[in-house]
Each structure stands twice: as structure tokens, then as C-alpha cells.
Chain A
Amino acid sequence: MNNIILIVAAVAVVIVLAVIFLKKSKNKAQETAPLDENSGDPELFALGLNPVSDKPIMYALTTCQHCKNTRKFFEEQKLDVIIIYLDDYSGNKRAELMEKVRTYNPRGTFPVVIVPGGKVVVGFRKQLLKEALIDDAGRTA
């Protein structure tokens, strides 16, 4: 009888250890798994690398509150702005877009708004955005 209890206990211990091991392996795999290299819109990616447009272009992150506030400001002002979310891309695409962002903002912070005519506004700065996108609209840059 004692032998049977010992065997059952041993099997239970082995199962628990196996479950813990499998969970750890799964977590590790999730941590190191590369993001989908094909993610993100290819047209926006191309525009991000060569930002030539008659509309303002904003480089942003989907997770950044300052970016969300800037987007909200554009919506309130009914401004048509193209938004390129860098975290929608992965691997080389993400790196290439970031390199482009650093040409406009060497510190690499978000958001970065490129206004037609050449002005660049970094961060959620309502007054600067208003001046660049509304007050200066129609003037020669």
C-alpha cells in the first residue's frame, strides 16, 4: 500500500515539474519571438522613408499618450494628417523608420510631425502645432 502511495506521489511531482518547465519554456519563447516581419502597411512604410506629401505626416507610437493626445488635437481641429505608427512594424522596417525619425528629431522621441513646407514639430505642443498647421496654412514656408 505504501509503495502505491509513493508511486502516485512521485508521478504527481513529475507532472507538476513538467508543467512548470513547459510554462517557463513558453514564456521564454514569447519573450524572444521576433515580431512579424511583414506587419504594417507597406504604403505607409514607403511614405515614412520618403515623407513627401501635401498632408502633414506624424510619426507616432500606438502606445504613446502624447501621440494619442496629438491625434485627438488633429481630430478636434478637423485636420487631415497621415499617421505612421512605428510599432506596427518590426525588424529592419522598424529600424529604417526610426533612422528616418532621427533625421528630424535626433533624440528619437514621439510624436514627430512633418508639416508640408518643411516645419517639424516634436512632442504634443498644441501652440506650435496650431501655428504650423493652422495659422501658417496658405503661407509660403
Chain B
Amino acid sequence: MTPEELLEKLARCAAPKGYYLHADRDHCLGTAESLLANKERYGYMCCPCRLACNDRKADSDIICPCVYRDADIKEFGACMCAFYVSEEHKDDPDFFPEVDERRDPSRGI
């Protein structure tokens, strides 16, 4: 699968939930490449912004889309990677908010 194909698939899945991929196409392509790299490396598409344990169970909350995405988008308008954004920000290529990490530090490495 190419990064472009992955983006198309993810955008299709996210739209019915009211989420969109970031308007900066290069940012999204880079993220998609990283997701595919993690798939190759770990066997699953772990969040590219977080350090994986290489254990599917331990990393289950940060497999993209992570379980924190909905709350992050609700509060900040974007997920931590600024990959998914809310409808309000879907056309803004410069929207990169600072998103606080919700993940419990005791999880993962």
C-alpha cells in the first residue's frame, strides 16, 4: 500500500465521524509514510509520535487512530500528531495546536 492509498482510505473512514485529515498534504503524506514504516517494523500502525513497546497489547491504546484522538480533537481541534482534525480546522494548513499528552506515563516504555 502506498502512502497516498493509505491517506485515501483513512480519510474515507474518518469523514463519517466528523474527522478530517490535516489540510497540509505533505504533513499527512509524511505521517502516512511513518504509519507504514511502523506497520513494517512492529506489525501494526503504531502512533508515529509516540515510542512503541513493540508489543501489540501494550501499545493497543496508541495504534492509529489512538484512543485519545476523540478527546484531543474535542479539546484541541486535532490529535496529538495533528493528523486528524475537526471540521472547523479541516481547511487550515497552518493549524498545529499544542496538544497535551493524555496517555498515562506509566503505560508503555
A contact residues vs B (CB 8 Å cutoff) = 27, 30-32, 34-35, 61-66, 68, 86-87, 90, 94-95, 98, 102, 106-110, 123-125
Q: Which of chain B's residues has its CB closest to A30's CB?
A: B43
Binary contact readout B69-109 vs A (1 if CB under 8 angstroms, 0 otherwise): 00000000000111000000000000010101101010011
Given A31-B43, A63-B34, A106-B105, CB of A87 within 8 Å of CB of B51: yes
A-chain residues with CB within 8 Å of residue B52 when the two chains form the complex:
87
Q: Is the CB of B51 within 8 A of A35?
A: no
Q: How many A-B pairs fall under 8 Å by CB?
A: 69
Residues in chain B near residue A95, CB distance under 8 A: 109
* A65 & B109 in contact (Cβ 8 Å cutoff): no
Q: Is the interface of B mostly helix, strand, loop or mixed?
A: loop
Residues of A within 8 A of B103 (CB): 108
Q: Sample 20 A-B pairs with CB under 8 A, ordered by A number.
A: A27-B43, A31-B42, A31-B44, A32-B43, A61-B48, A63-B37, A65-B30, A65-B81, A87-B51, A87-B52, A94-B51, A98-B109, A108-B101, A108-B105, A110-B49, A110-B50, A110-B51, A123-B98, A124-B96, A125-B98
CB proximity of A112 to chain B, nearest CB, Å: 12
Contact between chains at A65 and B34 (CB < 8 Å): yes
Residues of B within 8 A of A68 (CB): 30
Give chain A residues whose Cβ lies under 8 Å from the Cβ of B12: none
CA distance A100 to B96 in the complex (A): 27
Give chain B nearest CB distance to A105 CB in angstroms.
9
**Is the CB–CB distance between A107 and B101 below 8 Å?**
yes
Q: Chain B residues near A87: list those with CB within 8 A.
A: 41, 51-52
CA–CA, A102 and B104, complex, Å: 13
Contact B105 A107 (CB under 8 A): yes
Kindly list chain A residues whose C-beta atoms are within 8 Å of the C-beta of B37: 62-63
Q: Which residue of B lies closest to A123 (CB)?
A: B98
Chain B 6-45 near chain A by CB (<8 Å), digits 1 or 0: 0000000000000000000001001100110110011110
- What are the residues of chain A within 8 A of B82 when measuring CB–CB? 65-66
By a CB distance below 8 angstroms, the chain A residues around B51 are 61, 86-87, 94, 98, 108, 110
In the bound assembly, the distance between CA atoms of A63 and B35 in angstroms comes to 8
Q: Which of B41, B48, B100, B101 contacts A64 (CB 8 A)?
A: B48
